[in-house]
Amino acid sequence: MTKAAVRAHTNIALIKYWGKADETLFLPMNSSLSLTLDGLYTDTFVEISDTFTEDQFYLNDVLQSPEETAKISRFLDLFRNKAGITHFIQVKSINHVPTAAGLASSASAFAALAGAMNRATGLNMDLETLSTYARRGSGSATRSLFGGFVEWQKGTSSEDSMAVPVDDASWDIGMVIIAVNKTAKKISSRIGMKQTVETSPFYPAWVASAEEDLLAIKKAIKARDFEKVGQITEHSAMKMHGSMLGAETPIIYFEPDSIKAIHAVRALRDQSILCYVTMDAGPNVKVLCRLSEAGKIKEMLREYFSEEQLLISGPGQGIRPLTAQEAAEYNWQL
């Protein structure tokens, strides 16, 4: 197979990954855990051919610059080298996620690209092994290969820093996403992480507490204790942003509407509606809730935000190949 098309869903970290121990291999300072979502995803098509004279990268039907294509080419080289091929590759990717807005678009994007390359090259690596390749594009992409709750084990090397499934999340849990701002953030995650690791006096405490939170949330997930999962999730997010505020210069992803969303969620809890906030490197707010209550929570949030800013998502599945019919909707020929 020299063509393949794969879908991958975003994931939202409940125990955050923030900071690299190795910036070349994308090895994290701490292990993390996420929930894959069905509402946001990336579809990616790759074709390997000896007729191509260079790599090509299209994002949302727009041919990308040589600089952006070079980044993708370096990622493709991981698979070319493993498969022993030298041909150029065409990549076409459609993001059903706002790009670089703190909604985990890089996670679904590189997970989909890794999955497509795994099929197109015939390597057919198992998902845990494939996650060590996806990690080299985006750390959080490791977790988007699987559905439900997923742990990215920090490991000790490139070979064992990988994602493993924890729980299929086939219980009453979901998210309401509040899209405060869908434009690209001004400070990239890569720069934000590096600045926090190197300059924040709070960072070592963040790493230590993240490991403790991971053990606690896995225990809560096993018990299906939603309230405990939510409490740990919100505390983890606020601690991560606290470590950023301690950086020199402080890194602030919050916008006024982010704060408004946090207070709105706390107001819902005051009304005995259990829901909890999490935020990644961006202004957008995700509300962890019982899926059965997501519709009610969304409606109550309409007091503060427009319909277009609110999205309900249940747990998502891991990567899967697109059918020929699905690919044809993009004019991709498998």
Query: Which has the minimum average pLDDT: 141-145, 188-192, 251-255?
Result: 188-192
Are 90 and 49 in contact by the 8 Å Cβ rule? The answer is yes
Return the DSSP state at 88. E
38: pLDDT confidence band, cut at 50, 70 and 90? very high
Whether 290 shows a pLDDT value over 80: the answer reads yes
Mean pLDDT (whole number) for 18-41 = 94
Q: For position 282, what pLDDT does the model report?
A: 87
Whether 102 shows a pLDDT value over 60: the answer reads no
Q: For position 190, what pLDDT does the model report?
A: 86
Q: For position 186, what pLDDT does the model report?
A: 81
Q: What is the dihedral of CA 110, 113, 117, 123, to 10 degrees?
A: 40
Cα separations (Å) of 119 from 124, 127, 196? 6, 12, 37
Q: For position 100, what pLDDT does the model report?
A: 52
Whether 15 shows a pLDDT value over 60: the answer reads yes
Q: For position 98, what pLDDT does the model report?
A: 63
CA distance 324 to 196: 45
Whether 243 shows a pLDDT value over 90: the answer reads yes
Q: For position 103, what pLDDT does the model report?
A: 63
Q: For position 97, what pLDDT does the model report?
A: 78
Cα separations (Å) of 327 from 9, 24, 162, 171? 16, 33, 29, 31
Whether 101 shows a pLDDT value over 60: the answer reads no
Q: For position 189, what pLDDT does the model report?
A: 84
Per-residue pLDDT reduced to its tens digit, 49-94: 999 999 999 999 999 999 999 999 999 999 999 999 999 999 999 9
Return the DSSP state at 185. P
Mean pLDDT (whole number) for 253-280 = 96
Q: For position 122, what pLDDT does the model report?
A: 96
Per the listing, tokens 């703190």 go with 102
Percentage of the residues of the chain whose pLDDT score is greater than 90: 91
Relative to beta strand 20-22, strand 320-321 is unpaired
Q: For position 183, what pLDDT does the model report?
A: 76
HSE-CB of 187 using CA atoms within 13 angstroms: 17
Mean pLDDT (whole number) for 151-167 = 97
Relative to beta strand 32-49, strand 3-15 is antiparallel
Per-residue pLDDT reduced to its tens digit, 178-218: 998 877 778 888 899 999 999 999 999 999 999 999 999 99
Mean pLDDT (whole number) for 163-171 = 97
Q: For position 185, what pLDDT does the model report?
A: 73
